[in-house]
Amino acid sequence: MKRPVLNLKSFAITVLAAGFMVACSSDDNSITPDPDQEEQEEVEEEEEVDESRWITIAGAKMGEEPGDGNGGTLIYSVTSEEAKDPSVEIDPFNNGFIAPSNRTARLQASEDGNTIFNISYAGDTGGNYTKYTVNGGQDFEKTGSEISIAEYVGTAPRWIKLFDGDQTGCAVRVDIEHIVDDKGTPNDVTDDTYVRTSQTVGIVTLNLVDSQINKYQKIDLSLDEELESQGYYIGRIDMPTLNAAGDKLYIGARMNKIDPSTLTRDEENAADLESDSDYEILGSKTIVVDYPSLENPAIITSTVSHGNTNGYRSINSFEYGGSVYQANQGDPEGSHILKIGADNQYDDSYDFNLDDALGVTGAYVLAWRPAANGKAVLAYRHEGSEEGVAGPQGFFALVDLNAQTATKIDEIPYDTDFYLFQYQSFAVDGNEIYLTEAPVGKDGNIYIVDTETGAVTKGAKLVNTTGSHFIGAW
């Protein structure tokens, strides 16, 4: 943000000079003004760069059940100074801008906070891309043209903004089909022989500036034959991340498994992002494709962690220091932060186990975001989390990627109904990270974490409404 300011020193000189000239106006022998003084007497209007940036807060309104977030998404923006001021109240549920989406909107922000990008999720408008200039409060000015990516990746796309200077977005989708060698009757699978599950991946890149499709690629993905014969397949993908060299795209993956004898999945195993299963959890996997061509797929596997890398609502992996750091979920040994090196392979010498770091059991990363110094704020739950009105209670921790340490942020108050499963975003301003804390249906506050010092500032009040919750800061 920029704002014009008046140079008060020059203004004072001008007033004094004007008074002197009036006093001498009847004297024909008045002193000829000094050109340097004339220049000094002019009122100077300078363009001062304001250190503040917009912080956009999003709330997910209740649909039918408290905390489901299916009633729509409302957003409201304040300056970073206002966000730090506990006397400021933010009430997006009554005063906010409705972000177009049938369910919870999937929002992204420009690096400077001046633009919000949205792709509607589900419903008649699902897959529609729009962007808005942030003008403060509920004023979000639609800019550029709309474009739909539904024909490429459906009306409920998994999408993310690549960190390439706000130039590109990327959405992904996987379609599966269980292939059998039919030998039985149509209603009897006892004589059918399971062959494999086909996995067709769709990837689309979107020009965020000009609102147009850059590239669409369809890929037939395969695991190795032995795993596929046992019923393993990639059933969900999300969170594409660009590597430091800008020539590879990493796509997070969730592993599923079908019972070859029944061609069904256990209900227990079908639940999204749950670690409970009655089959072996494989090493964490990521799909790697060339960028920008989106061709030549490969699958890389971690040997230090297990579970899924696709995340859920928030960005799950980030480039830092030439490598990509990625969270996993559903790991029987607790979530890890994983490292993919410049060689596009997992660096298995980097073993960052959050159970060990936090001193808990069953740590589960819900969302996280590093600052440029490699220190991050992480939202998580664990086996000791109390069950609230919408799900297990969540917590925040300060993480150091270099030192491989994680410490719970005790300055933030915790409530049984503090629900973070749908948390989407943290706002980053230098080494400061802005987050929202408010239990379902209860008021809360913005908190600002100085990742360098660990200092925590309690900021603006968040005004909530029945059954609703806040899903982050942008």
What is the per-residue pLDDT across 91-111, written as a single tens digit (0 to 9) for each?
Answer: 999 999 999 998 899 999 999
Domain coordinates in residue numbering, the chain? 1-50, 146-350
Indicate the Cα dihedral angle 270, 265, 201, 302, nearest 10°: 70
CB neighbour list of residue 406: distance below 8 Å, 6 or more residues apart:
354, 357, 358, 378, 397, 398, 399, 400
**Smallest Cα–Cα separation from 368: which of 217, 472, 228, 250?**
472
Tell me the pLDDT tens digit for each residue of 222-256.
999 999 999 999 999 999 999 999 999 999 999 99
* Residues 378 and 387 sit within 8 Å (Cβ to Cβ): no
Q: Are 219 and 291 in contact (CB under 8 A)?
A: no
Q: What's the confidence (pLDDT) of residue 176?
A: 96
Flag whether pLDDT at 162 surpasses 90.
yes
pLDDT per position as a tens digit, 254-312: 999 999 988 887 544 443 444 445 789 999 999 999 999 999 999 999 999 999 999 99
What does the block give as tokens for 3?
A: 């704002």
Model confidence at 435, pLDDT cuts 50, 70, 90, reads: very high
pLDDT at 1: 53
Q: What percent of the chain has pLDDT over 70?
A: 85
Query: At 85, is the pLDDT very low, low, confident or very high (cuts 50, 70, 90)?
Result: very high
Measuring CA to CA, which residue among 389, 379, 433 is closest to residue 415? 389
Name the pTM for this structure.
0.87
Q: How confident is the model at residue 51 (pLDDT cuts 50, 70, 90)?
A: confident
Of 244, 412, 263, give the one whose Cα is nearest residue 342: 244
Q: Is the pLDDT of residue 440 over 90?
A: yes
Residue-level pLDDT at 265: 79
Helix H or strand E segment including 11:
helix 8-23
pLDDT of 192 reads 74
Return the minimum-mean-pLDDT range out of 42-56, 391-405, 452-466.
Answer: 42-56
The H or E element that residue 255 is part of is strand 248-257
State mean pLDDT over 364-383.
98
pLDDT of residue 273: 41
What pLDDT is recorded for position 403? 98
Report pLDDT for 181.
Answer: 87
| Exposure string for 271-286, b = 16+ CB within 10 A, e = fewer | eebebebebebbbbbb
Q: What is the mean pLDDT of residues 72-90?
A: 98
d(CA 466, CA 443): 10
According to the model, what pLDDT value does residue 317 have?
Answer: 98
17 pLDDT higher than 70: no
> Percentage of residues in the chain with pLDDT exceeding 90?
81
Asked if 319 and 242 count as a contact pair (C-beta separation under 8 A), the reply is yes
- The per-residue pLDDT for 279 is 83
Which residues, including other chains, have CB under 8 Å from residue 184's CB and lie 6 or more apart? 190, 191, 192
Give residue 102's pLDDT: 86
Q: Where are the beta strands (DSSP E) in 267-316?
A: 283-290, 298-306
